[in-house]
């Protein structure tokens, strides 16, 4: 029931390049794979099968890099070849949902496949939402349809989109923005479904003489939702972004995704009633854990390399790996299903987390220190490889640049898996 998504637009970042970040909080042992979905040109009139229904295909789709729960068609978060990034959040709204419709993960993938800008993605997703509605369970073993919120970004623009059934409100982000697991758009929406106010009035959720609807006040349903689920996390992420405004870096975003309030990147056990029980890096087993994360760098210069730093598993005990839509993402990152398997990087990281969880205060700092050294060295190497790839690309050799990035990704996965094995052995695994 978790997730947090953040964005810092160029005025707020150190190098004036948009940064997008997402923690995906899902069932603790639900494998998420890093997948690359290539652009395609399907036959005219052919349908595409989403999770629970078919919809018409489009003439052409974009190449995507994203994080995909093993059993789903859609994505928790991702970025496409046009530097559009999208992440979704479960939210709680009043309208009932059925067993068939588009899931939030469907809408993330469809927005990435069909849009070249954040504004286009917003239009694509809201059109599909109004036409087909939301529905179908977002959980593999529980029948639980849910409403969604989204953060949509590109190199110059970002939008927050919140939904209730087929209704929606969207607000443009000024410099920094973040979403969590509750509706938060009030009367400050910039765009909305045509009957957004009228429907709320008809339902008795809003007064006819009160002007444009306050989306959260009218549509939110917090009955049965833990009061500490989303509010503190939203405020925490917003405060960390605000404190870094003007000099946000990918490392800043990775640090926010690893945050456990006063415990920083090291998880500290808390009672369920504690307002800080649900942290940005979530450890709420058996409810939810952070099971994947991403930080995407979205440059406006088409010759610059866009980077998606991906983390299989919990970011506080793992590392972010640089991946590139322009290259070929290693197939090994896409391995994994319902059963634990040593060939799956995600399951190997799940094993490491289990070892750390025996004594987080003892093992957490050791593992974090090792990954910090590894990640810092990787970031330096990535800077050099990306600069070389940009030089090659500007000389007109796009395929050679892609080959450089592909080879770097393969080396990175090799070293990452080797370090994971060393850490597991040291912890007695």
* Cβ atoms of 14 and 247 closer than 8 Å: yes
Between 3.40.50.9100, 2.60.40.10, 3.60.60.10, 3.40.50.10470, what CATH number should domain 4-356 receive? 3.60.60.10
Q: Can 3 be counted among the known catalytic residues?
A: yes
Q: pLDDT 10s digit of each residue in the chain, 429 long? A: 689 999 999 999 999 999 999 999 999 999 999 999 999 999 888 999 999 999 999 999 999 999 999 999 999 999 999 999 999 999 999 999 988 999 999 999 999 999 999 999 999 999 999 999 999 999 988 888 999 999 999 999 999 999 999 999 999 999 999 999 999 999 999 999 999 999 999 999 999 999 999 999 999 998 989 999 999 999 999 999 999 999 999 999 999 999 999 989 999 999 999 999 999 999 998 889 999 999 999 999 999 999 999 999 999 999 999 999 999 999 999 999 999 999 999 999 999 999 999 999 999 999 999 999 999 999 999 999 999 999 999 999 999 999 999 999 999 999 999 999 999 999 987
> 3, 50, 281, 316: which one is catalytic?
3
Q: How far is CA 302 from the centre of its chain?
A: 23
């Amino acid at each position: 029931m978790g997730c947090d998504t953040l964005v810092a637009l160029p005025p707020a970042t150190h190098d004036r390049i948009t940064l997008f970040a997402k923690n995906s909080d899902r069932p603790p042992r639900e494998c998420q794979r890093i997948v690359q979905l290539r652009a395609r040109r399907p036959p005219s009139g052919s349908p595409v099968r989403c999770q629970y229904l078919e919809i018409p295909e489009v003439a052409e789709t974009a190449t995507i890099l994203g994080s995909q729960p093993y059993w789903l068609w859609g994505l928790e978060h991702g970025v496409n070849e046009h530097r559009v990034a999208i992440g979704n959040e479960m939210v709680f709204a009043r309208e009932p949902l059925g067993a068939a419709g588009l899931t939030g993960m469907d809408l993330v993938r469809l927005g990435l496949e069909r849009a070249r800008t954040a504004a286009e993605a917003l239009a694509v997703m809201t059109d599909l939402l109004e036409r087909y509605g939301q529905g179908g369970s977002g959980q593999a073993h529980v029948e639980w349809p849910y409403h969604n919120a989204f953060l949509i970004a590109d190199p110059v623009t970002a939008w927050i989109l919140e939904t209730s059934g087929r209704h929606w409100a969207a607000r443009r982000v000024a410099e920094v923005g973040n979403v969590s697991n509750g509706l938060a758009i009030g009367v400050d929406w910039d765009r909305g479904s045509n009957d957004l106010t009228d429907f709320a009035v008809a339902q008795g959720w809003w007064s006819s003489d009160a002007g444009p609807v306050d989306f959260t006040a009218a549509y939110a349903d917090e009955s049965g939702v833990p009061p500490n689920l989303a509010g503190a996390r939203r405020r925490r992420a917003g405060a960390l972004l605000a404190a870094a405004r003007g000099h946000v870096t990918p490392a800043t975003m990775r640090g926010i995704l690893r945050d456990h309030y006063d415990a920083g990147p090291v998880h500290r056990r808390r009672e369920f009633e504690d307002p800080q029980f649900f942290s940005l890096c979530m450890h709420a087993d058996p409810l939810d854990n952070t099971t994947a994360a991403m930080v995407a760098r979205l440059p406006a210069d088409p010759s610059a390399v866009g980077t998606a730093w991906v983390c299989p598993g919990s970011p506080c005990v793992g590392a972010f790996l640089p991946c590139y839509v322009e290259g070929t993402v290693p197939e090994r990152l896409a391995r994994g299903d319902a059963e634990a398997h040593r060939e799956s990087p995600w399951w190997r990281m799940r094993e490491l987390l289990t070892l750390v969880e025996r004594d987080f205060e003892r093992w957490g700092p050791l593992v974090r220190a090792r990954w910090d050294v590894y990640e810092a060295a990787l970031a330096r190497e990535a800077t050099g490889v990306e600069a070389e790839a940009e030089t090659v690309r500007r000389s007109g050799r796009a395929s050679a640049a892609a080959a450089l990035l592909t080879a770097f990704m393969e080396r990175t996965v090799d070293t990452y898996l080797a370090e994971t094995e060393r850490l597991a052995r040291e912890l007695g695994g």
